[in-house]
């Protein structure tokens, strides 16, 4: 029986939002710019047989200034991540694959991508990912294995867990760092990337075009650089983030870690999310809540999605992003509008965001103060 010739492909999935508001448009443009940086970095390695862009945006795809294959989504049918990726793998005959979302790895450079590609090519059975429990990207072989398990992978963050725990691929995770953990999840990530020297060329150019107000972030970064200040980090905080803060800063850290995995576990969908901060806010009211935060810390990094889920709320992406950007008047949901206004009126910098803020985002900020 003839042995299969190894064929390594990069598959980048780049979606677009139908009729987005301005905040969603900024996010889409930034993710597309980051995807282009990923493609350029991967092409520079010379290790990929094919660069494949999977997208529902033919206009953007037609503007790509490099040699790649564009595979357009069939928008007549509902999108299912696992089935879509498995079909691409089968269609192009890939034996080894590196999958990345559009904004999955804005700080990975060509050296990082080459190391992942070489290790994947050298293996017969292997999974490499940035986060086994909630992957932003995954490299694996044999690529054809996904077809059997595709129905179990409705979203890309489940791909590593399913391939490891159910398909039995041995797993290798990259060391925790800003490059391995920061993905473009909210506008706050864009603010952080706009300040990071490792940001890719195309993404940096796009961010320079946006009118990002980084005032609160810059103030919080100044606190991180100071000695003896108090910072507060709240939300879905990993121990690795706390360790980096303790190791690399001279600040006292107040940490409230709660509801990690609230989406993947189904607790949010089941209305089971409980937040200590959310309960305290309910007891004392909005004004007293933010006055207390001012007493507790000199700068605050707040994954406010946990508080929203605690209240049974999940405003639109446009609302959530507008809140992160400080666009109070554009936030339609009443509670989130009042919460955003309270954060902006605080006498200490309060940086709002999602899970990535208290994960890869803070790791990137810590990197910046040590460079």
User: Do residues 362 and 181 touch, judged by C-beta distance below 8 A?
Assistant: no
- CATH no. for 8-174: 3.90.550.10
37-73 as b/e: b if 16+ CB within 10 A: bbbbbbbebebbbbbbbbbbbeebbeebeeebebbeb
Q: Which pLDDT tens digits describe the chain residue by residue (371 residues)? A: 345 678 999 999 998 766 679 999 999 999 999 999 999 999 999 999 999 999 999 999 999 988 899 999 998 889 999 999 999 999 999 999 999 999 999 999 999 999 999 999 999 999 999 988 889 999 999 999 999 999 999 989 899 999 999 999 999 998 899 999 999 999 999 999 999 999 999 999 999 999 999 999 999 999 999 999 999 999 999 899 999 999 999 999 999 999 998 987 789 999 999 999 999 999 999 999 999 999 999 999 999 999 999 999 999 999 999 999 999 999 999 999 999 999 999 999 999 999 999 999 999 999 999 87
The two structure tokens encoding residue 339: 């919460």
Ranges of each domain in the chain: 8-174, 214-370
Determine the Cα–Cα distance for residues 189 and 192; give it in Å rounded to an integer.
Answer: 5
Determine the Cα–Cα distance for residues 159 and 81; give it in Å rounded to an integer.
Answer: 9
Determine the Cα–Cα distance for residues 189 and 357; give it in Å rounded to an integer.
Answer: 7
**pTM of the model as a whole:** 0.93
């Amino acid at each position: 029986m003839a042995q299969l010739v190894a064929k390594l492909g990069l598959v980048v999935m780049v979606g677009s939002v139908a009729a987005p508001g301005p905040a969603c448009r900024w996010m889409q443009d930034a993710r597309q710019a980051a995807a282009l940086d990923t493609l350029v970095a991967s092409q520079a390695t010379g290790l990929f047989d094919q660069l494949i862009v999977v997208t529902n945006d033919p206009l953007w795809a037609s503007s790509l200034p490099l040699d790649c294959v564009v595979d357009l989504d069939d928008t007549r049918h509902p999108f299912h991540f696992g089935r879509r990726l498995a079909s691409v793998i089968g269609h192009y005959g890939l034996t080894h694959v590196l999958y990345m979302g559009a904004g999955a790895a804005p700080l990975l450079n060509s050296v990082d991508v080459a190391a992942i590609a070489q290790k994947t090519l050298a293996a017969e059975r292997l999974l490499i990912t940035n986060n086994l429990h909630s992957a932003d990207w995954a490299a694996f072989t044999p690529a054809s294995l996904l077809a059997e398990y595709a129905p179990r992978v409705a979203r890309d963050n489940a791909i590593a867990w399913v391939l490891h725990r159910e398909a039995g691929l041995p797993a290798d995770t990259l060391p925790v760092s800003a490059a391995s953990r920061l993905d473009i999840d909210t506008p706050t990530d864009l603010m952080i990337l706009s300040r990071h020297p490792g940001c890719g060329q195309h993404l940096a150019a796009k961010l320079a075009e946006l009118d990002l107000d980084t005032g609160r972030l810059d103030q919080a970064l100044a606190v991180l650089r100071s000695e003896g200040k108090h910072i507060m980090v709240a939300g879905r905080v990993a121990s690795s983030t706390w360790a980096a803060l303790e190791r690399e800063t001279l600040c006292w850290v107040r940490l409230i870690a709660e509801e990690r995995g609230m989406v993947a576990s189904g607790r949010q969908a089941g209305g089971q999310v409980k937040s200590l901060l959310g309960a305290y806010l309910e007891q004392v009211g909005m004004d007293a809540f933010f006055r207390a935060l001012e007493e507790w810390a000199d700068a605050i990094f707040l994954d406010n999605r946990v508080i929203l889920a605690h209240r049974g709320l999940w405003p639109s992406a446009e609302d959530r992003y507008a809140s992160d950007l400080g666009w109070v008047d554009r936030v339609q949901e009443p509670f989130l509008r009042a919460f955003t206004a309270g954060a902006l009126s605080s006498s200490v910098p309060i940086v709002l965001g999602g899970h990535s803020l208290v994960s890869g985002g803070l790791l990137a900020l810590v990197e910046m103060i040590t460079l």
